[in-house]
Amino acid sequence: MTVDTVNDDAPGPAELPPGMLSGLRVLDLSRIFAGPAATQVLGDLGAEVIKVEDPTGDGSRRLGASEERMRRMGGTSPAYLAFNRNKRSIVLDLHVASARAVVKRIAATVDVMVHNFRPGVVERWGLDHAAVAKDNPRLVYAEFSAYGTRGAMARVGANDVAVQAYSGLISATGNKGEPPVRCGTAVVDMQGSLALVGGILGALYHRERTGRGQRVSSSLLASAAHLMGYVYADYWADGTVAEPLGTANTLNVPNQAFPAADGSVIIIASGDDMWARCADALDPARLNRPEYQRSFDRLLKRDTLVPEISAVTRRFTCAELVERLEAVRVSVAKVNSVAEAADSEQLTANGGWVSLGDDQPLQRAVSSPFELSESPVRVRRPPPRLGEHAEAILGEAGYAAEEIAALRAEGALG
């Protein structure tokens, strides 16, 4: 992949081909994480994304942890800046009829529309799929809900951690007998973002072949269930209910974190050959014993084997354990802090982040999670200020200056 980080609208260097979605227009009414993270991937692929915000702005702008920090960041949280590059912003107060008319007019001209209003809201506003597809049958209309659009909970709102709880993910995370623990990032939102990306790109492929758009739906519920796929399968197979096991799992031993002199490392030696190499590399006399040779035996003897391994690993530093075990092709990884992970050379070597510009409050952000050999990713725009591009967007949609003034007078633009 070619990563280019030009921060303006000028065309890139001549040798850089256009993005895969160059020329495609996306109207994004979604808020917080899953939707904006999805449309950012589309923007990274070259699409032009119009971000519609209510007068107070996407709620993620305010997730700044403290007032003082928000001031330092220029009023906008890192969480917003992480997911909103390659977009332009317009404020529309959808409680005002003329603002809804603006959405409808723009929706008639775009390729993709995304929203995450609760089921029922877009119908009330005349912005549901049937209403907007009438004027634009090629539109790919993507909607993201909390608990799906059917069933008793369809209109219940939720965020990532609520669905981590509802899906059983929290119940399978943590140390047994201790207070519940969530995954340390919004895994359901992020899985949802890629579910939307997959559905939208699939629908665009289908449109290319048939000429027709369609509705794409996903939800926190469906995304969490997908994350839990093999865990639910264990239950559906014979009632096996996953329980929290720290960093371990029920499938093989060792496959978890072990203490080092200066931190922890994950050691995975599931196959019998790999276990033998692991035992020999650490302390053959103590670990390479007949009762631990077979994988099913190691599972049964977890309660003695794990303390045995721990007693050995404590004698080494993380770096020593990584070096020793990598040398014999045993899977090993240091439990990094967020700082070590974000700064890692390996992430940089693989284009894991893009530059948002040296003049920006957040100067780098994580890349989209896949690369395409023929489609460059380019940061064409840093995350927009609230309503920064209202005039330009309305102008392109055919609104004359006096019409824009009228919208403003009515409060449609916040």
Residue 256 vs 412, nearer CB to a second copy = 256
Shortest Cβ 43–a second copy spacing (Å): 13
The residue range among 88-96, 190-198, 282-290, 388-396 that interacts with a second copy, by the rule CB under 8 A, is 190-198
- 384-413 residues in contact with a second copy (CB under 8 A) are none
Of 30, 39, 86, 167, which one interacts with a second copy (CB under 8 A)? 167
Of 266, 306, 397, 404, which one interacts with a second copy (CB under 8 A)? 266
Rule CB under 8 A: is residue 359 a binding residue for a second copy? no
The DSSP result for 158-212, as a single string, is --HHHHHHHTTTGGGSS-TTSPP---SS-HHHHHHHHHHHHHHHHHHHHHHHHS-
Rule CB under 8 A: is residue 303 a binding residue for a second copy? no
The residue range among 3-11, 97-105, 283-291, 364-372 that interacts with a second copy, by the rule CB under 8 A, is 364-372
Residues 33-52: x where in contact with a second copy by CB under 8 A, - otherwise, as a string = x---x---x---x-------
User: How many residues sit close enough to a second copy to count as binding (CB under 8 A)?
Assistant: 157
Shortest Cβ 162–a second copy spacing (Å): 4
Q: Which contiguous run of DSSP H or E holds residue 391?
A: helix 390-396
Whether 219 contacts 30, CB under 8 Å:
no
Of the candidates 122, 298, 148, 297, the one whose C-alpha atom is nearest the C-alpha of residue 221 is 148
Rule CB under 8 A: is residue 169 a binding residue for a second copy? yes
Rule CB under 8 A: is residue 183 a binding residue for a second copy? yes
The residue range among 103-111, 244-252, 301-309, 387-395 that interacts with a second copy, by the rule CB under 8 A, is 244-252
Among left, alpha and beta (phi > 0; psi -120 to 50; other), residue 306 is alpha
Whether 360 contacts 60, CB under 8 Å:
no
Of 124, 135, 327, 337, which one interacts with a second copy (CB under 8 A)? 337
Pairing of strands 140-145, 215-219: parallel
Of the candidates 207, 99, 227, the one whose C-alpha atom is nearest the C-alpha of residue 163 is 227
Rule CB under 8 A: is residue 306 a binding residue for a second copy? no
Give the number of other Cβ atoms within 10 Å of residue 349's Cβ: 8
Residue 97 vs 300, nearer CB to a second copy = 300
Residues whose CB falls within 8 Å of the CB of residue 269, separated by 6 or more in sequence, listed in order? 254, 255, 275, 277, 278, 279, 330, 331
The residue range among 7-15, 284-292, 355-363, 405-413 that interacts with a second copy, by the rule CB under 8 A, is 355-363
Rule CB under 8 A: is residue 358 a binding residue for a second copy? no
Q: Which two tokens mark 138?
A: 């090629």
Rule CB under 8 A: is residue 117 a binding residue for a second copy? no
- 8-27 residues in contact with a second copy (CB under 8 A) are 20-21
Rule CB under 8 A: is residue 287 a binding residue for a second copy? no
- 81-100 residues in contact with a second copy (CB under 8 A) are 81-83
Residue type, 136: N
Of the candidates 245, 234, 199, the one whose C-alpha atom is nearest the C-alpha of residue 219 is 199
Rule CB under 8 A: is residue 161 a binding residue for a second copy? yes
Dihedral pair phi/psi, residue 270, rounded to 5°: -80, -40
